[in-house]
Amino acid sequence: MRTQIHALTDPAAAAAAATSDTTISAAAASAVDKLLHQIHDRIYRVNSLKSRSLSSSSSRISVSTLDVSRFLPFDRLSAASLLDPEIIPSLRPLDAVESFSDLYRRIIKVSSSTIETAGLYLEQCALFRGMLDPKLFRKGLRLVRENAVEVNTKVVTAAWLRYERREDELVGSSAVDCCGRNVECPRACLKAGYGPESVYDQCDCRRQAINEENREEMEIDDGEGCSNSDSEELGFDMGFRVGEEEIRCMRYKIGMMSRPLKAMLYGEFVEGRRETIYFSQNGVSVEGMRALELYSRTNRVDCFDPCVVLELLSFANKFCCDELKSGCDVYLAGLVDGLERAVLLMEYGLEETAYHLVAACLQVFLRELPGALQKEKVMGFFCSSEAGKRLALVGHCSFQLYYFLGQIAMEVDMKSNTTVMLLERLVECAALKWQQQLGFHLLGCVMYVRNEYKDAEKWFQAAADAGHVYSMVGVARCKYKRGHKYMAYKLINSLLAEQRQTGWMYQERSLYCVGKEKISDLDKATELDPTLSFPYKYRAIQLAEEKMIGAAVSEISKIIGFKVSPDCLELRAWLSILQEDYEGALRDVRAILTLEPDYMMFNGRLHAEQLVDLLCSHVQQWSQADCWMQLYDRWSSVDDIGSLAVVHHMLANDPGKSLLRFRQSLLLLRLNCQKAAMRSLRLARNCSTSDHERLVYEGWILYDTGHREEALAKAEESISIQRSFEAFFLKAYALADTELDHESSSYIIQLLEEALRCPSDGLRKGQALNNLGSVYVDCEKLDLAADCYMNALNIKHTRAHQGLARVYHLKSQRKAAYDEMTKLIEKARNNASAYEKRSEYCDRDMAKKDLCMATQLNPLRTYPYRYRAAVLMDDHKENEAIAELSRALAFKPDLQLLHLRAAFHESMGDITSTLQDCEAALFLESTHADTLELYERARKRAEDQQQ
């Protein structure tokens, strides 16, 4: 659910204010007012198209008497109920470290029970999703796939991994395309069994295709496979009469197909004494009976027409022919090659309880998501309670299936009936406690967005009763929406009194109080969890209400500096308009469109593209050449949002430019907007005009989703077609993502030098030079590294200051290193990392100041907390050191923070806490060597103490 922010006071009132830095001048207000009227006119035209039934004379509002604030995105703060923070639709444990530790212990306990292990890793995925970290979530999905035993688990997980790359958006891709490895191979996923060692091996698709071609050729040469031979030669001793025709068979062969058939042909039934059995009333055609006879001798169904095989499948169910049913099931599953055929065969599969056929159809449906959500016939197989029961009968109604479907439905449209029905099925499948918590909570979130507050409260309360404390936020919010504000306040107040206090608790309580108490709660929420955006937005709007627009912009810019989101950018854009900073507003609106191309501003009244059109008339127009110059300037000043805006402008003039889409993806990755970055990469791939370019972008998509080996293969294939900067750079980058020895470092140097010889622009060559310098430093070739960094700086690659500072430091020139980082701080707009790095080149007091500034600019950076904690430990202030690390862990569970706190606990003799922190760290990264060593040491000490 996107947070919506409603309007400030009438901007016309701001025109009367005359304070120098905090208000808008009368002349500026006039210009702003003109733009606001233009926005209103545009909104009016859009709305008039939606409500043609209203007459023009009655619906048109006179501009001279217009109350502009009615049409703007912000309302008076008295309408606080309209300024709701988001209720996160995922699991949010009260103590993440404790939850991670508990789940890790359960995972290592049942490692030999593979079916249960896959379920535990799915629970891990649910917790990772609550952390809003796509990389960790994909890692969890891969662990589910590695430990999967059942076909349903394999099919759903593989489809989910594919969806995370959104391959459905790649032009020319198909739902049944194979990635080349077992982990996502459609054929491999239809085979049950446990095989974690082979899950990332090359699949057999290519070899099987060759074998099938050879087999078809052999059958053409030797026409006996599915032909009828002379009945006397074969010894047929009975017949089945279907209509007017008799199909001769071997009684023994037919009887061996199942116990019912054996009883019929050899038992006390009258058929056992007849040579000809009348079979017309059993729903079998002549063609079906001939195929059955042939199958009885060959045990093959692959030479029959699919319609005949369907008939055999029905016969097998009716007469309990398990082997025949399995053969028909597997054969029909192999015929599912697209959505149309899957829809056709799914009904047969459900009717005949054909496990593999349903799995194959299910696989196509899931790989066609999210498009399949719009197909009524497809959703008919999932949404209703009856549909869930039919899937359960065939063994394919699982919690994971509906978790996947429900998540995608929520992304597409949280308010739709389809979303509600899928989540209702999710709740029906929930057997474990965590599954119930998640299912109830998600249904509560959807009902809340649909304004069905009574039902939402019921589901949130069910989730809370199941142990999900965070769902009490939903209960309180629904009570408030239903007019019970004091009850909502008491509920959250009791949470704060009884539970461990968190930022979201104070944020929620602030909704139900006013004045100083409200501000105090918001400040406390930011102190406990600086990543919560609502307090920044509220404070910014309050400052704007008090005519302090500059301070309001500064307040909302604090969170934009480390956590970019469309709603915060929208608020800053609006404040910039009030400041008459149209370039700043245009920058933010273009950034919004990069993050969400369909974003609707002003509470859904106006598409962001239309606001861009209005703002463009108030700023200087740039040619494409001007844009390149602006891009260089912003790139060199490490202004990522400004760079995004320029790239968006350039793409408006040249939307098919794959190079610009790729630049866009790089900027989005810097801003940690991974979903938008992947979309830009896919667009770059789709817009590419050559095979070698397309392969590079496909390689980056694979690399960014954890498929390093496949990315290297794409880079090598691209180089084999044409040597290019991006192909060499991708190969070098992917190879560098491992522990490097001297030989591999030399090879990466060679690749980067090859890249620099190829044509490219200065932006990318600066990055290559910077990377080359880093490899030289690792090889202790400091002079060559310094040359690379200097060359990068000469083409305005500002980040090279950091590499050059490192060279100076290694040469024992600490003052020069400090000065170099100071240059970076002065040039870079986003400079939290620069302050952090500069702290390494100065004394302790100055380092503390730099690290405090780094935390103030970006509280998500963990090094400052670790440094301050280490200093406190050196000063024998153990409790303060633990508290410093715990402060960061409360809102950012991090491997390094957990490992350091575990080491501190060990040094203090607190083995229980040491074990818990180690387990939580290993939950995030199970192969972290230092934590594994510390964990084993702590376990031995714990065992010794017990003895």
Cα 698 → chain centroid: 18
Give the C-alpha separation, 907 to 897, whole Å. 15
Mean pLDDT, range 399-413, rounded to an integer: 96
This model's pTM is above 0.85: yes
CA-atom Rg of the chain in angstroms: 33
The pLDDT tens digits for 599-635 are 998 878 889 999 999 999 889 989 989 999 999 999 9
CA distance 944 to 929: 23
Taking only the tens place, the pLDDT of each residue in 630-668 is 999 999 999 999 999 999 999 998 888 899 999 999 999
Q: What pLDDT, on the 0 to 100 scale, is given for residue 218?
A: 52
8 A C-beta contact, residue 189 and residue 152: no
Q: For 44-62, what is each residue's pLDDT tens digit?
A: 565 555 444 434 333 333 3
Which amino acid, one-letter code, is at 390? R
What share of the chain in percent tops pLDDT 90?
68
- Look at residue 20 in the predicted model and tell me its pLDDT: 38
Residue 43 confidence class, pLDDT cut points 50, 70, 90: low
- Number of other residues whose CB lies within 10 A of the CB of residue 904: 23
Task: Count CA atoms closer than 13 A to 398's CA, side-chain side.
Answer: 19
Q: What is the pLDDT of residue 42?
A: 60
Overall average pLDDT of the 905-921 stretch = 96
Report pLDDT digits (tens) over 829-887.
Answer: 878 999 999 999 999 999 999 999 999 999 999 999 999 999 999 999 999 999 999 99
DSSP string covering 426-446: HHHH--SHHHHHHHHHHHHHH
DSSP one-letter string for 67-88: -GGGGSS---TT-GGGSPPP--
Euclidean distance between CA atoms 797 and 87, whole angstroms: 41
Q: How confident is the model at residue 217 (pLDDT cuts 50, 70, 90)?
A: low
pLDDT higher than 70, residue 379 = yes
Where does residue 243 fall: left (phi above 0), alpha (psi -120 to 50 degrees), or beta otherwise?
left
| Residue 258 identity | S
pLDDT value of position 167 = 81
Residue 307 CA to residue 318 CA, distance in Å, equals 17
Least confident of 201-205, 621-625, 822-826, 939-943: 201-205
To the nearest 10°, report the CA torsion of 761, 766, 772, 775.
Answer: -140
> What confidence score (pLDDT) does residue 223 get?
45
Cβ atoms of residues 306 and 335 within 8 Å = yes
Residue 66's pLDDT band, with cuts at 50, 70 and 90, is very low
Strand 245-249's sheet: what is its strand order?
A: 245-249, 238-242, 276-278
Strands (E), 444-547: none
Is the C-alpha dihedral spanning 337, 338, 344, 347 positive or negative? positive
Name every residue whose Cβ is closer than 8 Å to that of residue 240 and which is 6 or more positions away in sequence.
246, 247, 249, 276, 277, 278, 279, 289, 293
- Write out 700-723 in H/E/C secondary structure: HHHHHCCCHHHHHHHHHHHHHHCC
Give the residue among 300, 317, 295 at the shortest CA–CA distance from 247. Answer: 295
| Triad 529, 531, 532: Cα angle to 5° | 80
Q: Cα–Cα distance between 447 and 1 in angstroms, integer?
A: 11
271 within 8 A of 281, measured Cβ to Cβ: no
Average pLDDT over all residues of the chain: 87
Question: Which residues, other chains included, contact 821 with Cβ-Cβ below 8 Å and sequence gap of 6+?
Answer: 801, 802, 805, 834, 837, 838, 841
